[in-house]
Amino acid sequence: VIPTLPAAIDTPALVVDLEIVEANIERMQRELASRGVALRPHTKTHKIVRLARMQLDAGAAGITVGTLGEAEVMVSGGIRDVFVAYPVIAIGPKAGRLRDLHDRAELIVGVDSAEGARALSAAVAGASGQLRVAVEIDSGQARTGVAPADAPDIARVARDAGLEVAGVFTHGGHAYAAPERVASAAADEVASLAEAAAALRAAGFETPMVSAGSTPTALLSATGAVTEHRPGTYVFGDRQQVALGAIRPQAVALHVAATVVSAHEGRFVIDAGAKTLTKDIAPYLPGYGAIPAWPNAMIERLSDYHGVVTLPHGEPGPQVGDVIAVVPNHVCPVVNEFDTLLIVREGRPVDRWPVDARGRNG
Ligand SMILES: Cc1ncc(COP(=O)(O)O)c(C=O)c1O
């Protein structure tokens, strides 16, 4: 699918087709609703209050964020139900920030250690309402989270420290390892969450929240004991999601517009380098992004502001001055590199939206 880019565009730029975004939001909402599972989209993908509001208006039960900074921006934008799906260690300046957010919003915070639980408790000491936490479960990604059987240990520490245990959550990030890992990662999410929730309930915790979360697993693990799902990347899509089969190529809503600044035999250079495309790669995808109009081209090397693209022997490339569309490998960090998104409808610019929580990475 070769997108139509607006004419006279300053590059590099992130061009977002609003109609596709709306369709992506509506589809995920409908699919999860039909499974009886709440949608709590991860807003780290777009970091934009207005887009979070569109997701809520479509029926999302609340939002997910990855950092206190993102939470601060979303809460200041008027959004109240916010899950920080991250093991926040509320010490130093983060203690005061966490307390302030707790006073202003309906916050839920991730926890995977006794130290983390105690720091959260100390940060909200004396607050009128209890802080809610969710115990993170490692379903196979081997990043954060505890084994399902250990969830009650963390929950007890949290409860004894005065926190309210809302439930459990996991991110089946090992789905990203390869297309053939998606189904098993989704099954891992369901099984480990079910085990953890059962262990918590047996230990006397009500556990209303059983939260799975990723775009590749969204439609596969919204089942069984799972009560909510937290996909984020589905809103824009990217090359990884297409390769994993999570979204169709036509559902990619964000493209990087880049200008060809140099051309040579067998290669050309675009003005989208590492500070635009980021160096995110996937083992099953060659290069740093896809160029739909030149499907055989490979974005082989990146400097800060140069993307070096190679072509198969003898294949003609674009001309210097041409503006081309690139699908980034992983859209979330790309958005974080830009102040604004250029919003288009039917290929025509209609607005420019600031990336509100840009750089709020902690
Ligand atoms: C804890 C957590 N939840 C949800 C998500 C959203 O997943 P995705 O980016 O696959 O949409 C992520 C993404 O990294 C995450 O780390």
Provide the pLDDT for residue 83: 99
Question: Quick one: pLDDT band at residue 264, thresholds 50, 70, 90?
Answer: very high
Provide the pLDDT for residue 287: 98
Percent of the chain with pLDDT over 90: 99
Cis before 12? omega within 30: yes
Helix residue spans in the chain (DSSP H)? 18-34, 49-57, 68-76, 93-104, 114-123, 151-160, 182-202, 218-221, 239-244, 274-277, 331-335
The average pLDDT across 26-36 equals 98
The average pLDDT across 152-158 equals 98
166-176 pLDDT, tens digit each: 999 999 999 99
Percent of the chain with pLDDT over 70: 100
Question: Quick one: pLDDT band at residue 331, thresholds 50, 70, 90?
Answer: very high
Tell me the two tokens of residue 141. 């990604």
Q: Would the CB of 40 count as within 6 Å of ligand 1?
A: no
> Which of 42, 143, 176, 247 best tests ligand 1's pocket when mutated (most atoms within 8 Å of CB)?
42
Q: Would the CB of 171 count as within 6 Å of ligand 1?
A: yes
Atom of ligand 1 nearest to the CA of 169: 1
> CB-based contacts of 102: which residues, under 8 Å, 6+ apart?
123, 124, 127, 129, 131
Provide the pLDDT for residue 311: 98
Provide the pLDDT for residue 203: 98
56-81 pLDDT, tens digit each: 999 999 999 999 999 999 999 999 99
